[in-house]
Amino acid sequence: MATITIPKKIESELKSASQKLGLSKEDFLLNAILYYLQVLERKVELKKELETWERTSDIDLIKFERNI
Q: Are 15 and 9 in contact (CB under 8 A)?
A: no
pLDDT (tens digit per residue) in 2-18: 888 999 999 999 999 99
For the chain, the domains span: 8-66
Categorize the per-residue pLDDT at 60 as very low, low, confident or very high, splitting at 50, 70 and 90. Answer: confident
pLDDT confidence band for 55 (50 / 70 / 90):
confident
Residue 66 clears pLDDT 80, i.e. is over it? yes
Dihedral-angle region of residue 22 (phi above 0 means left; psi in -120 to 50 means alpha; beta otherwise): left
How far, in Å, CA of 56 to CA of 59, rounded? 5
Question: What is the pTM for the complete model shown?
Answer: 0.69
For residues 1 and 35, what is the distance between their CA atoms, to the nearest angstrom?
A: 19
